[in-house]
Structure 1
Amino acid sequence: MSQVTGKVIDTRLLGRLLKLAAPYRATFILAAFFTIFLSAISLSQPLLMEKAIDSYILADDFEGLTFIIILMIVLLLVQTLVQYFQTYSTNSIGQSVIRDLRIKVFNHITALRLSYFDRTPIGMLITRTVSDLETIADIFSEGLISILGDLLLVIGIVIFMAVKDWKLTLVVLVPLPLLILATYIFQEAIKSSFQEVRTQVARLNTFLQEHITGMAIIQYFAREKQEMLRFNEVNQKHRDAHIRSNWYYSIFFPVVELISALSMGLLVWYGSGRILSDQQLAELSVSAKGVTPGLVISFIALTNMLFRPIRQMADKFNTLQMGMVGADRIFQVLDTNEFTSSEGHLQPATIRGEIRFNGVWFAYPTAPKEGETPPDTDKWVLKDVNFHISPGETLALVGATGAGKSSVINILNRFYEIGRGHITLDGIDIREYELNFLRSRIGTVIQDVFLFSDTVAGNISLNNPAISREKMIAAAKEVGAHEFIERLPGGYDYEVMERGATLSTGQAQLISFIRALVNDPEILVLDEATSSVDTETELLIRNAISKLLTGRTSIVIAHRLSTIQNAHRILVLDKGEIREAGTHQELLQMNGYYKRLYDLQFTTAGINK
């Protein structure tokens, strides 16, 4: 639960936000100065108004009145200019802060473990990094500094009025307790509604992200009407949350106007009575202790000025509150400490590629720490796995879905941390290696290829400037994909749509092969790399694989046993345990799980063994 809900302003969150604005301290100070200056200029206008009425209009001094009007116009122009700089500087601070914060959030998210994304909706994270961050910008552009200016203006108006006539000031302030009470009730009511609004925005974004991404499934199964009904329900809750918050506004602002009108009425009633009872009224002379028409009119202007910032402060406090809700959600993400441990710093010049799994236990999403008692074995994905791959050898992993094959790849890349045991590379625990270095030396091709909305070249190099176009072309030729890329409009500059929608599955898979090989990794991992391609493309890829595996340590996961018959060793996994191990011929002679799987595949395919 958010910490913001319990109080109007969370000083801890506010302190963290102000630290983010520290690099823009000079602009912040300048914006504060402009705000204070605006308050001072605003106070001069009623004073000039009083002077114009009492000293010039009632005295028929047209020349003096002209001077006052010109002075008021000059001050108005100065106020407009200062208002421009104040607005520009506050918005500049807000946008600069959220730019820095968005970069910080993105870098933080990319460093989190995959287990965090396994249980966190992508739409929620999008809401955090986009709309929630925008509310934080409002804290600086419409919140803190503006509230400071309004407070100074209110204090200045009250002091100014009290100096001019304390009795009139008391009359004006009589309804103020009602305004304070209304504001308090409004603040209490609006806090929970803001939380609900942000929650419903996140749910709406999550729903849209998931359903747009999965649109093909919805249309394949003709679920458009049913999903529209679900969307209507989510959208209705989003609408209701906004209406509830707007309902509070629709009550509060008319109440403020009513209280303001009451204060104004009392001022006119009392001020007029003072003027009429003044013995000097017939002469229309100005007494030092008397009430003049100019004074009453200036008080009317000051009363308007007094209630306007009070009304705006309530609105700005709500903007500040909304920003604090967004900040709380953002900092919840930033405070998530689910990083892949990266304490290692080892980056050797060469990697031989010797891999060893020693008594490895692993479970999703978390596993007990080393030394703790293992949980129920049904929760383990890998159970006491032991194997060794010599440099340049190819190890194949086979087994039913859920046997733990892909988990071997995930923990080798340290996407997840193991619960017990050790994994070594060239005799050194993989946790000793610098994380990015480790992953850069392992070229991985997965079954579910993901291509970004970028060019073919951008998807191959992932915009790494160290990878030249010549290197991409060489890798493409080695894989056998250069010809089809050249046939695309624009060749390597062809714009690939999101998730490779404009390419065939086989073409996308070939690009993923080039992406893995362009860095010339010492270790190559193929996770069902040929399971989603047609026969012709599979033959193309298989020929490329036979060349690419030469001299590299390789781990190949495949359902099609025809692709792994030449592997140096094959491990048969079943429910997280190694059931059989050996070469293709050795496993066939065992007449066990591998033999049954082999007979089933080749008999079904009608292939003569």
Structure 2
Amino acid sequence: MNQKTTGRRLFDYALLYKKTILIALVMLALAVMAELTGPLIAKRVIDHHMMGIESPWVEVKEKDEQTVLYNDRYYKRNSNMTDGASAGDAKLQIVQVGRSFYVTEEHLSFDGDRSINGNELTIVKGNVQASYKVDRLNQQELMAFYQPEIRPIILLLGFYVGLLIIAAFFQYGKSLMLQKAANRIIQKMRTDVFEHIQRVPINYFDNRPAGKIVSRVTNDTEAIRELYVKVLATFFTSGIYMTGIFIALFFLDQKLALITLLLVPIILIWTLLYRRVASKYNHLIRTRISDINGMINESIQGMPIIRAFRRKEQTTKEFELLNEEHFVYQNKLLSLNALTSHNLVNVLRNATFVVLIWHFGGQSISTAGIVSIGMLYAFVDYLNRLFQPVTDIVNQLAQLEQARVAAERVFELLDEKGVAVDEGKLPRYEGNVRFNQVSFSYDGEHDVLKNISFEARKGKTVALVGHTGSGKSSIINLLFRYYDIDRGTITIDGKDTSKLPRQQFRKHMGIVLQDPFLFTGTISSNVSLDNPEISKEQVIKALKDVGAERFIEKLPNKYDEPVLEKGSTLSAGERQLISFARALAYDPAILILDEATANIDTETEAMIQEALKIVKEGRTTFIIAHRLSTIRSADQILVLDHGEIVERGSHEELLNQKGKYYQMYQLQQGKEVSKVG
């Protein structure tokens, strides 16, 4: 069992495409940097250029683009003065009171509440008061003081628009690269899961409905895809965005930035608490989805039986029960999400703005002075931006937990012990099979085969007969190594099969089942299974050898006639003939017929029996049969009862023994006579 955590294994899959993800993250970081310059640029425009005219002005001797003509003198903002610039004795300061602007020939020593009485400006701060003589500026004079700021404002706004265009380009690139990486990761994961399904032992499928396994390959991996496409993309984006905002806040005000950092542990704690509560519901939801898929798959396959036995109402009730349980658990999870995500973000946002008001309000009544409008705007803007990624993170917690649970289910399948694929080649063996004191149990407690010993020589036919559950199919399962024996040995040409690679020694074995399985494709592809080593000529020869050309020649596309899933457009006999041809095309050394003629009409069976006389030449053939009339020519017949061989011999020898085989034969003969009579 793989001991890595689910998160670590998801991270390992992401590392497979780390280059693409790294490029996406770099583009994301650049986009965030470009976007987050907005409030800083706005602060600069407001404080330095729009509100900057209230800065002290000094008289200058030389005119330039930053000077303003007032009362026949040139003035320049003190902040724009360069070292070595000559200045006169006159100085000015502009003050806004209400919607009007006033000019005084003194520089304000402090700022506070402003009031105008005629031409006198009064500023009050606490117990301190100061008065200044002022003149009101008309519209033309005011615009003259703003004129030097227009060009810098336009340049800054143009610069910000350019940054937004760059940010949009990088955001597009980031989304494209992350989604491309996510799709590649899930493609790889689905391939791994499907390939692993081919390697897990047959007993893995014994107690697991096909629909539940399909659910892990499709639904669960799709939930994981959402993890990479949405959840991780959101977490990456939000993380980098929040980091950028915190850095900007530290540039503006370190104390308040430290306070807002408390959001990070709050989100982490909330995430842990949410996962603990939501995990249970997500496990139940994924399980119910799996159950629903399993039932739908079973119902579709068994639709003829459901309708024939009028089980539609009962089947619908069973489905509605599963669907209702899924609905209940989904609603509980939705209630949890509704209770947490929206409320959490609102509480955090309101609490943060309370701290913001308290902090800046305290500054305004302290010696630190009133906070600038640009500073206040930048902080409010950054805090508003900060809560968008917080909202995104909290809203993705549900999807994160669903993906984590889905990943656990997928990795549980991948952790099932599989059989390594051996690419080597095993020479075609003769086909001399020997069972020596073989015992086997499916559950580890009750033996279904007990001390089975027999030998099948090359070119001979061995028939296995007995009641249902006597162990006939179990012998074939062990021969194919679908299961490993508990005790004893099975050898082919003297070699222990447990020492041979499963895939390689099965290459020289062929099987025809009672209920043949055909894949979607054509008749030809169902015979060759798209094996490049089997030519079209070999396919046609195999079909002709079993007599299938009789119905194939009547089809519009002959050997390229389309075959639907499970061969639903063909009769049972036609499907069986194709299945026989498939076994023959692979030219097996060992051929197994598992009730292969049970569902075939008498005429088709007679045709196949003739074909078998040819195809059995030089091959070891095992036949499982209930109709004893089909195995009269077998070289050896093994009669099984409760996992033991109770009789063995040819057809005539067993009849002469007048034992269990004789009773079975007489019973079948009696049934046939009674039908005729």
> Is the TM-score greater than 0.5?
yes
541-550 or 499-508, which moves further after superposition?
Answer: 541-550
Residue aligning to 1:409: 476
Secondary structure of 2:434's aligned partner: strand
Task: For residues 544-580 of structure 1, give each alpha carbon's deviation from its aligned partner in whole angstroms, at most 9, with x where no partner exists.
Answer: 1222222221111111111111111111111111111
Q: Say whether 1:562 aligns with 2:629.
A: yes
Task: For residues 181-203 of structure 1, give each alpha carbon's deviation from its aligned partner in whole angstroms, at most 9, with x where no partner exists.
Answer: 65554343323222222222212
Residue aligning to 2:7: 14
Residue aligning to 1:211: 299
| Sequence identity (%) | 35
Aligned equivalents of 2:664, 2:269: Cα separation in 1? 77
Q: Say whether 1:56 aligns with 2:49.
A: yes
The alpha-carbon distance between structure 1 residues 491 and 300, as it changes in their structure 2 partners (threshold 3 A), is same
Shift of 1:11: 7.4
Shift of 1:390: 1.5
Shift of 1:175: 8.2
Give the one of 533, 536, 539 matched to 1:472.
539
Secondary structure of 2:669's aligned partner: helix
Shift of 1:345: 6.8
Task: For residues 495-537 of structure 1, give each alpha carbon's deviation from its aligned partner in whole angstroms, at most 9, with x where no partner exists.
Answer: 2121111111111111100111101112111111100111121
The alpha-carbon distance between structure 1 residues 89 and 226, as it changes in their structure 2 partners (threshold 3 A), is same
Aligned equivalents of 2:412, 2:537: Cα separation in 1? 44
Aligned equivalents of 1:380, 1:17: Cα separation in 2? 42
Shift of 1:590: 0.8
478-487 or 130-139, which moves further after superposition?
Answer: 130-139
Aligned length: 580
Residue aligning to 1:347: 426
Secondary structure of 1:383's aligned partner: strand
Q: Greater share of strand residues, 1 or 2? A: 2
Task: For residues 250-272 of structure 1, give each alpha carbon's deviation from its aligned partner in whole angstroms, at most 9, with x where no partner exists.
Answer: 12233134225514642674477
319-328 or 117-126, which moves further after superposition?
Answer: 319-328
Residue aligning to 1:147: 235
Matches within 5 A, 1:184-199: 185-199=273-287
Matches within 5 A, 1:289-328: 290-328=370-408
Secondary structure of 2:16's aligned partner: helix
Give the one of 13, 16, 24 matched to 1:23.
16
Matches within 5 A, 1:369-518: 375=445, 379-518=446-585
Q: Is the 8 A contact 1:392 1:554 kept in 2?
A: yes
Residue aligning to 2:616: 549
Give the one of 109, 112, 116 matched to 2:204.
116
Shift of 1:172: 6.0
The alpha-carbon distance between structure 1 residues 40 and 340, as it changes in their structure 2 partners (threshold 3 A), is closer
Larger RCO, structures 1/2 (Cα 8 Å, 6+ apart): 1
The alpha-carbon distance between structure 1 residues 356 and 170, as it changes in their structure 2 partners (threshold 3 A), is closer
Shift of 1:21: 3.0
Secondary structure of 2:206's aligned partner: helix
Q: Say whether 1:360 aligns with 2:429.
A: no
Counterpart of 1:489 in structure 2: which amino acid? P
Task: For residues 81-122 of structure 1, give each alpha carbon's deviation from its aligned partner in whole angstroms, at most 9, with x where no partner exists.
Answer: 111111111112211112112111111111111111001222
28-37 or 571-580, which moves further after superposition?
Answer: 28-37
452-461 or 412-421, which moves further after superposition?
Answer: 452-461
Counterpart of 1:227 in structure 2: which amino acid? T
Residue aligning to 1:527: 594
Aligned equivalents of 1:478, 1:584: Cα separation in 2? 27
Structure 2 segments unaligned to the other structure (5+ residues): 54-145
Aligned equivalents of 1:341, 1:169: Cα separation in 2? 56
Shift of 1:400: 1.0
Secondary structure of 1:392's aligned partner: coil
Q: Is the 8 A contact 1:174 1:263 kept in 2?
A: no
Counterpart of 1:567 in structure 2: which amino acid? A
Residue aligning to 2:410: 330
Shift of 1:171: 7.2
Aligned equivalents of 1:392, 1:430: Cα separation in 2? 19
Which one has a bigger Cα radius of gyration? 2
Aligned equivalents of 1:153, 1:396: Cα separation in 2? 73
The alpha-carbon distance between structure 1 residues 154 and 183, as it changes in their structure 2 partners (threshold 3 A), is same
Structure 1 segments unaligned to the other structure (5+ residues): 4-9, 280-287, 368-374
Aligned equivalents of 1:289, 1:590: Cα separation in 2? 117
Q: Is the 8 A contact 2:49 2:153 kept in 1?
A: yes
Give the one of 312, 317, 322 matched to 1:229.
317
Task: For residues 210-249 of structure 1, give each alpha carbon's deviation from its aligned partner in whole angstroms, at most 9, with x where no partner exists.
Answer: 2122212211111111111111110111122222222122
Residue aligning to 2:69: none
Secondary structure of 1:388's aligned partner: strand
Aligned equivalents of 2:471, 2:259: Cα separation in 1? 80
Aligned equivalents of 2:187, 2:530: Cα separation in 1? 22
Counterpart of 2:518 in structure 1: which amino acid? L
Residue aligning to 1:7: none
Aligned equivalents of 2:37, 2:203: Cα separation in 1? 61
The alpha-carbon distance between structure 1 residues 120 and 100, as it changes in their structure 2 partners (threshold 3 A), is same
Counterpart of 1:298 in structure 2: which amino acid? A
Shift of 1:416: 0.9
Shift of 1:52: 2.5
Shift of 1:39: 2.8
Aligned equivalents of 1:504, 1:226: Cα separation in 2? 30
Q: Is the 8 A contact 1:48 1:68 kept in 2?
A: yes
Aligned equivalents of 2:423, 2:276: Cα separation in 1? 50
Matches within 5 A, 1:23-172: 23-58=16-51, 60=146, 61-144=149-232, 146-166=234-254, 168-169=256-257
Counterpart of 2:459 in structure 1: which amino acid? G
TM-score (norm 1): 0.88
CA RMSD of aligned residues (A): 2.8
Aligned equivalents of 1:185, 1:112: Cα separation in 2? 37
Counterpart of 1:538 in structure 2: which amino acid? E
Shift of 1:457: 1.5
The alpha-carbon distance between structure 1 residues 605 and 232, as it changes in their structure 2 partners (threshold 3 A), is same
